[in-house]
Amino acid sequence: MHKRRPEAILDVYNLVLGAALFVSPWLFAFSQAAASIDARLGGAAIVAASIAALLVFAQWEEWIALLAGLWMVASPFVLGFQHTTAMHVSIAIGLVVAYIAALDLWLIRYGPKPVEH
């Protein structure tokens, strides 16, 4: 029987954050198309990586979430929607997603190992 990883709750958090990012263009009425598309694609990538990590864990899912989070931090500057609500949402969610993914990767590598009974 497959046991749940204790770190799986972090994937649930990223799933919720990815879903929030996905719907943020509608919630906050983003005015730029680039910001809306970026939020939907970034949110979908985070949700997909989180679901994959919950179903069949592999480290690559955490790396995808980490990269997606970092992209969300950089994208307002790369795509040109600085000084907008979309920038604040993108950076805030991106930082939290990247932090959670990095924490998950760190726990996988250096965290306590499960005790077998």
Q: Note the pLDDT tens digit of each residue in 64-81.
A: 999 999 999 999 999 999
How far is it, in rounded angstroms, from Cα 101 to Cα 80? 26
Whole-model pTM over 0.85: yes
Contact partners, residue 90, CB within 8 Å, separation at least 6 = 21, 35, 38, 39, 42, 72, 73, 75, 76, 81
Tell me if 1 is assigned to some domain.
Answer: no
Q: What is the pLDDT of residues 9-52, one digit of tens each?
A: 999 999 999 999 999 999 999 999 999 999 999 999 999 999 99
Give the total number of structural domains in the chain: 1
Tell me if 62 is assigned to some domain.
Answer: yes
Tell me if 117 is assigned to some domain.
Answer: no
Residue 87 lies in domain: 8-110
Tell me if 103 is assigned to some domain.
Answer: yes
